[in-house]
Each structure stands twice: as structure tokens, then as C-alpha cells.
Structure 1
Amino acid sequence: MHAAAVRVPCSTSNLGAGFDCIGLALERWLDARYLPDDGPLRIERGGTLRSIQADTDDDILVHAFRAGLRARGVETATGLIHATSDIPIARGLGSSGAATVAGLVLAAAALGQALDREAELQRAYELEHHPDNAAPSLYGGLVAVARGDDMLRPLSLPLADELTFVFAAPDVEVSTRRAREALPDQVPHAVAARGLGRVAALVQGFASGDPVLLRIGFEDELHVPYRLPLIPLAQEAMDAGREAGAFAVTISGSGSGLIAVTARDRSHAVAEAMARAFGSGVAFTSDADRRGVVSLDQ
């Protein structure tokens, strides 16, 4: 094994009607570097990762790194992983998905193997079960994931160049487990049918930049009504974003963050308005990351 380094973008998923199947890569990243030595495998964390208290064996990135090695016939790992990130943790930006992708791709790079995005997507799904986060982190841009024949089919979707995004979150975590538990076991047939029409509007809205279609596509009855009460001041922040010029606002992933789509000339006003509504936390503007995971120069 030899030294290797990768950069993985974060992702916002669901995007309203695209529940559990559509995600978008944004310009916040996790950088992971592997340095071989004879010591036990260990990890050093920087940036937002410093808040993680997990032991090495319980670390998501390390777990994925070991899985990536085992998939290639390597059972024992030594050396140092240094990982740093500016992705907010447990705020709905796919931080665990980015860590999973980073570990898998770093393992391949450390063994000198070429990146196989489709294979890594399957492995990421087996480890983390959130392909709508892993796929945009791997491929970049706007990605839908279709499931069939026991395989995941990533579909890169067109995204209008003029669209940009605003992320805002309070100083409150919402765990994926808690957000899942808030969902009902069943929904009426009519609700599901309305959701299908909104998905079509969402995809076309992203492709064309049409604000009306984006607003329709960001509407949702499957998850947003049940998760919004878990996020303090979320409705106020959504309203503030729309009033400041956002085309549409919804929950990012399972929360606690919100994601807004807007025109570039309104993005900073939208970020400031949503940040004021939350009172504390984090808010930033971002274009889509259109590259996905990349290797870094040594």
C-alpha cells in the first residue's frame, strides 16, 4: 500500500419530492489522506470532525476503509488516516455518506486501483444504506438513484447553471434514526400519487431553472410535514428564505438543516435571512459540486 488522498463533497438529499432517491453534491468537502506505516490503523481528525468522539474501530471512515480493503482481498490494515472536513455534522448534508465514500475510495487509491464509481456506490449502500447521499458524493452534480434487479442505477440529471443554493441550520442535531422514526408506516394512495407528479416537476425545474416548477417540486407530503416539528424555528427560517427571494426551501436530508434554491444575485440575502430566523447555527451559499470524489495530488 502507498500514500493516497481523496476529496469528497457533501450532499443534500430528498430535495422535497425526491425523497430517498435524489441528491445533490455541494461545495463543502471532506479530505482524507492515508500514510502507510507499521503501526496499527488509526485516524486523526480535523475541522468539523473534531467533534466526533468515536474510537478508531467505530469511526465511519475507518470502517469503510477496512471494508474497501477487504473487498480487494486485504484483511489487515496499518498506517495513519488524516481526515479533515468543513461539512457540518448531523445537519442533513450527508456527512456520514461522505465519510463512507472517502473510506472506500481511499482504500482503492492506497492499493493503486482505478476508481470504479458504480462498484463503490454498491459498497457504500451496503455499509450506509443512503444511496441518495453516496451517489452525489461519488458522481457530483444532481443524481437520482433507481433500484432494481438488486442493483442501484445512478442517473445523472441536468442542472441549470444559473441555480445556486443556500444551506442553513440551527444549533440542533437531528439524528437520521430520530427523523426516520417520525415518519408514518403508510400514506394514502392519493398522497403518493401527488408526490409522483411533484418529482417530475422537480427534475424539470432543476433542468430548466424554472422557479414555479422548483417550488412545486420542493413541496412534499411524505416526510417534510413529519420532520419539520423536530427542527426549532424551521418554518420561520423557510418563510424568511422565501421572502428574501428563494425559489423554494425544504429540509436538507433528514435535517436539522434546510436547503434553498435561488438565483445567484439573491443567494446572500437568502442566507442572511435564514440565519437571522434561526438566531444561531450555520448558514452558507454554495454552487453544486459537479466533479464528485477526486484524488488529490500527493
Structure 2
Amino acid sequence: MVPSVDPLPFKLFLGYMDYPTDTNYVAMTEMPLPGTTQEEKYTWLLSPTKLKGNTGLHYLVVRPIVGPGVKSINATLSITPITSSCKFWNETLLDWKDSGCKVGFKTTHLITQCLCKHLTFFGSSFFVTPNLVDPSRTAELFATFAENPVVVCFVGALFVSYLLVVVWARRKDIKDTVKVKGTVLEDNDPMDNYRYLLCVCTGHRIGASTSSQVILTLLGADGNSKPHHLTDPKKPVFERGAVDLFLLTTPSSLGELQGIRLWHNNSGSHPAW
């Protein structure tokens, strides 16, 4: 615990599954602890024995200790809960044990102090409890605009930026959804019995797209297809970084495909490949 005023006398009450009172609590202490160093006097160590084996939701209540004639204290208190343990390697049981070891008062969210009565292979683990975010209390921040306009403006700018990014990303998703579909070529003959699916992947580098009308012929062991125009009236094709699917038909099987003949009419504003 880090108080903004030193010394800051206060009482701590810990409750289990409910807010503690003066008479009903799991643990209680007063701070600063007398006869301790600067690092230790605002540190409260709670062992599993003190917690009475309770696991789950706990409530911490802080009550300032005011002297006679003092109505209030203008101070803040920063509290960081840490779960830490000190263990040693028991070579007989081949397991980590904590007998003879305990966590020291100098433990922080960065280091763990272990106080042990024996020498062996030691290990430590700790977990810093993250601060919970309560979205329902976000509106309370804007009520303090006069007190801290910089923070309120910064948070508001983050919200606006987030909304703009969401709108931009949604529009991009809609465009991508339109692109991901197969195109049945308009010059196909409905009476054809054989169908071929052609996938064209356009590169991502600058200038990889083309505005030309592309024509393709399939070359097979048993014959060739007629020229087909690879166009789609409902969406642009051959854009940069695109994947276009075309379904073309032939009256008879072409056999094993051996190659393709591809050309364009050099039309549009950027006809080059």
C-alpha cells in the first residue's frame, strides 16, 4: 500500500463474501505498523491460516484513524494485491514444499522475499491481481471534466478513435465479403456439360492490378475451350491482392489440362499487368 501522505494512520478490515464490519471480519490490522521499516509499515501479509482457508470473493475496507477535532483527511491510498509463495524442492518427496519458509515483508509486485530456516533449492511464484474495469462507471469520468480536462479529453479521443476504426473495419469487411464469391461467366453456354473452376490470385505489390478485359482459353489433351472473357458486372476483378473465382463451361471434356492462353485488350486507365 502506498499512501499519498506519510504517516497515514488507518485500519484495514478484510471480509469474505460480504463487506466486513467492526465485529464481523476475517482479518484486521492497523497501519502504519509500529517498529517497522519504511517498506514494511504499509505491507499486510495474510497467510492461508489467517484467511481460514476461504477462497473466492473478498472485500477490503479502509477506515482512516482521525484524531480529536479532525473531521476528514485529504489523502489517497494505492493498494496492490499480490499472491505470492516461497517453496523449496524436497529431494525425498520429489515435490515443492513450503515448510520452514514464509514470504517476507519486502515482497513487491516485482520481487519476492523468502525467509527460510534451511538451505536447499528454492523457488518462488507470485501473481499480481489486475485491476478490474467497470464500464458502467465510465460516465462518472466525464462528470469530472472541470477537475481534470486533459484525462477526460484523452479518454474521449480514444473512444472516438475506436468508433472510427470500427466503422472503417466494418466497411472493409463488407467489401471483402462481396469479393469472396465465384463468378459464372456470361459467355458460358447453358447447354455445356463440363465445368472448370478457375482461381486467379493477384499480387500484393504496387501495380499488380489491371483494368484491361482479360480473355482466357483452356488448352487440354482432347481439345481447347473457346475464348472466355473473365469479367463480372457486379464487382471489379483483378484488383491488387484479390482472389477471383471464375466458372467456365465447355460442351465436351478437354481431357488432361496442359496449359492456358491468356491475353488482354490493353484498355482502361492502368492496363498493364
Give the shorter-chain TM-score range. Answer: under 0.3
Give the greater-gyration-radius structure (CA): 2
Q: TM-score, length-normalised on structure 2?
A: 0.19
Larger RCO, structures 1/2 (Cα 8 Å, 6+ apart): 1
Give TM-score, length-normalised by structure 1.
0.18
Normalized per residue, the structure richer in helix is: 1
